[in-house]
Structures are given as C-alpha cells and as structure tokens.
Amino acid sequence: MQENLHVRHRNIWYPFTPIKGSPTPLKVAAGNGAWLELEGGKRLLDLISSWWVNVLGHARPEIAAAIYQQAQQLEHVIFAGFTHEPAEKLAEKLVEKLPGRLNRVFYSDDGSTAVEVAIKQAWQYWANRGEKRRSFICFDHAYHGDTFGAMSVSARSLFTDVFKELLFHVEHVPYPATWQGDDTVQAKETATLRRLADLLEQHPKRYAAIVIEPLIQGAGGMRMCRVEFLQALHRLARQHDTLLFFDEVMTGFGRTGDWFACKRAGVEPDMIALAKGLTGGFLPLAVTVCSDAVYEAFASSDPAKTLFHGHSYTANPLGCAAAIATMELLEQKEECFKTLEQEHSKYLEPLSAHPKLDKVRIIGTIAAMNIKTDERPGYLNTVSATIKHKAFDRGLLLRPLGNVLYLMPPYCITKDELAWAYRGIASILDEL
C-alpha cells in the first residue's frame, strides 16, 4: 500500500484513527455501484458498504435525483410547529414496513442520537406513569454509538474506557453469540435467559428497558445470535413488564435478509432505532420508532410530560426524500437482499475448512469469520492491518474488526464480483 502517496490533511481530525502510526487516508474521487475509485485511478470493491451505510451501492442516480428535486422545493424547515410532506410520507412508509405495534416515528440525525432518543423515551415513559425505573439491561460486547447515553448502554471497552466515570450504570449480561456448527448455543442461551430472569425477578421495578442489537452485534465483532433467543427474550420482557428496545441501526433495511431483524425474528419490540441504511448512504438521518403504548404515556398537555429532545436538522426534507427513494428501490428489488445469504454460503462453504478460519457465520447479507492468530483476539489484533493491506493490493476494501473478518457488501454486488472477492480472500488466507 502506498501510504505516503498523499499527506494527511493538516486541518482535519479523522474519527476512530490514532493520530500517529495510522496509514494516510486514501483519497476517494468517485463511487459507482459496489465500487470506489481513488484519486489516481485505482478501483476498490467496497465489501463493507462504507461503514455499513450504502445498502444499494454508491451514487445511485435515483436517490441523487430525489434529493435534487426536493432541494429545489424545500431544503429545510424547523420541525417543531411545522411539518412537511417528505417527513409524513417517510413515516407512513416506515410504519407500513415495520411490525404492527411500531407506529410513532421520532426523527433525529444518526444512529447514536436515535439510541439517545430511545433511552430518553424509555426512561421518561416510566416517569410519566409515576414510576421511577433507574437502570437498563444491556449486553456484553454491545455497540450503540459514541454519545454518552449510547456509550453507557454499550459494553465497557477500549472505546469507552477513558470516559467510564461519566457513564451511567447499567447491568450487562452475556450475548449468546453463535456460529455454524456451534454445539454450545443452547447452554449459552439458557444461561443468559436465567440471568435475565433473576435480574427481573429480584428487581421488578428497576429496569426501564432491555437494549439489544438483534440477530447480530456489529462493531463488537459481528457476533450473531439465534431467532429463538430473541423470541425468548421478548417473552421475558412481556412477562416482567419491561420495555424491549431493538437497536437496528445496522440491521435495518435488508441487512439480515428481511426488511428488519425484528421481522426476521418474528418479534415486536416496543422501540426500534434505524439509521445506517435509511438514506442509502446519501445523507445523515435516523429514526426512533415506538409503539402507541409508549407514545400514549407522553400524551399530556403537562409540559413536564413532554419529550424535550430535537435537533436543528430534525427530519431534514432532503434526508427524508433520499430515504423514500431508498425504500422504493428496496421494495422494487427485495430479492437483492434476500438472496445474498445463499451466495455467501456458496462461497464460504468450501472456505470454512481453511486452517486459518474459525467460527464462520452468516446472516442475510452479512458473512463473518474469525481469523486464528497467536495474538489476543479483539479490536487491536494486528492481523486486521495485514488483511486490510493485502486486500487493498487485490482491489478489495475490507476492514476487519481485529481478528474478525467480515463482508457486508452493498446489495448491488454481482455474483461475479462476489465470487472474485471470495477468491481474493482465499488467497489472502493462504498467505497468512
């Protein structure tokens, strides 16, 4: 990799990037379908949908046109005391696609703020009903974003360590992560469910909500759980009268092979957060959608019962227009996210016996596997950089999370492109 081709920009502080020792960022000139084109002409097949947002690929002309059209009509307006067609239309489209109970759409800007909104809604839901609930139940290895509430409900990790005194206390339980051929999954699920039942029985009025990334934990290492576990979790939440919040910021819009992970699991949570795929990767926009029951607890003229939350760009009409166009494209071609699971299986099956691979797992459009190394597993494992460089040399954009290699391509990737990507991965593994 030519790391000194461009000098790092002297006025920019890049996210999630150690300032010393990191390679210089690659300058991207254009995007098209599943491909990125770098300045100088090199092309990369984007196997991570650019931080998991470009569900339909880069620079989709239909989405670009929708934004252009909306920009000529109304670019933005305050969303308190005012409303507009794109926000109303998008809310209706979302509610139509979501499970029946999820009816009330609250707009914000990104995944972290959508999680903040859900935390506030859950907390104040109980307060408005005259009950004080003081904590949340969350999962080990969870990642819910970088703002303080979102960090608090996330796992305690390298990402949050320096801020730990500022985070509010939550109860963490193990996520029963599983993979192909895992014969311990039942035992892990039973242990977690027992721990949850104990917490809820011992402290019946302590927990405002259970917070989970359904079917797959993203940044925590692409850790997948079973549908059966989510169904049991849902029963437990009902039985003990606590709210269930699904953070579907990553899993929304086809990622798990259905429109939403809750749909694939056949579970209706009380609240859901959506962001990454919402605008097809074009503009920052997010929503928190809750049930009528949650909303009703705020239905009062008493200002103390109002949800005082909002952002200057809340329900930005351009973002809403991009989201409507994205949903229409997904509706027209649902098979684009429904068939990728089979494709991954086809290529991963022969590869899964590779001596460097462990814990192969697939859900919908996402495939993940652990790389065996002598180093400690986790985000700082250096095999990540090795694979990233070898992939770059082959024209593949991969960005392993430590020793977890994953593919999360845009749905427009062709069979030939995916086959080529897996051939590249096989040869990288042979070189390790």
Ligand X SMILES: *Cc1c(COP(=O)(O)O)cnc(C)c1O
Packing angle between helix 227-239 and helix 185-202, nearest 10 degrees?
10
- Of 124, 207, 118, 214, the C-alpha closest to 171 is 207
Q: Which range touches ligand X (CB under 6 A), out of 162-170, 189-197, 213-221, 396-404?
A: 213-221
Q: Does 145 bind ligand X (CB under 6 A)?
A: yes
Member of 49, 112, 288, 403 binding ligand X (CB under 6 A): 112
Number of residues that bind ligand X (CB under 6 A): 15
Q: Is 273 helix (H, G, I), strand (E, B) or coil?
A: strand
Q: Are 143 and 221 in contact (CB under 8 A)?
A: no
Query: What whole-number distance in Å separates Cα of residue 196 and Cα of residue 237?
Result: 9
138 lies in the site for ligand X, by CB under 6 A: no
The span from the CA of 47 to the CA of 25, in Å, is 17
Q: Which two structure tokens, joined as six digits, stand for 306?
A: 């109002």
The residue among 157 and 386 lying less far from ligand X, judged by its C-beta, is 157
Asked if residue 273 lies in contact with residue 240, where contact means CB atoms within 8 angstroms, the answer is: no
* Smaller CB separation from ligand X, 17 or 414: 17
Q: How far is the CB of 33 from ligand X (least distance, A)?
A: 23
DSSP state of 100: T
C-alpha 160/C-alpha 142 separation (Å) is: 12
Out of 56, 63, 230, 250, point to the residue binding ligand X (CB under 6 A): 250
| Site pattern 63..102 for ligand X (x: CB under 6 A) | ----------------------------------------
Q: Does 368 bind ligand X (CB under 6 A)?
A: no
* 192 binding ligand X? (CB under 6 A): no
Taking CB under 6 A as the criterion, the residue among 144, 226, 234, 354 binding ligand X is 144
Which of 115, 230, 327, 398 is close enough to bind ligand X by CB under 6 A? 115
Looking at 33, 86, 214, 218, which residue binds ligand X (CB under 6 A)? Answer: 218
Burial track 189-223 (b if 16+ CB lie within 10 A, e otherwise): beebbeebeebbeeeeebbbbbbbbbbbbbbbbbb
The secondary structure of 102-163 as a DSSP string is EEEEEEESSHHHHHHHHHHHHHHHHHHTT----EEEEETT----SSHHHHHHSPPSTTTGGG
Q: Which of 304, 255, 248, 309 is nearest to 275 (CA)?
A: 248
133 versus 144: smaller Cβ distance to ligand X:
144
Residues numbered 283 to 342 that lie near ligand X (CB under 6 A) are: none
Binding to ligand X by CB under 6 A, coded x per residue (else -) over 384-403, reads: --------------------
**By C-beta, is 408 or 428 nearer to ligand X?**
408
Residues that bind ligand X (CB under 6 A): 110-112, 115, 143-145, 213, 218-219, 247, 249-250, 275-276
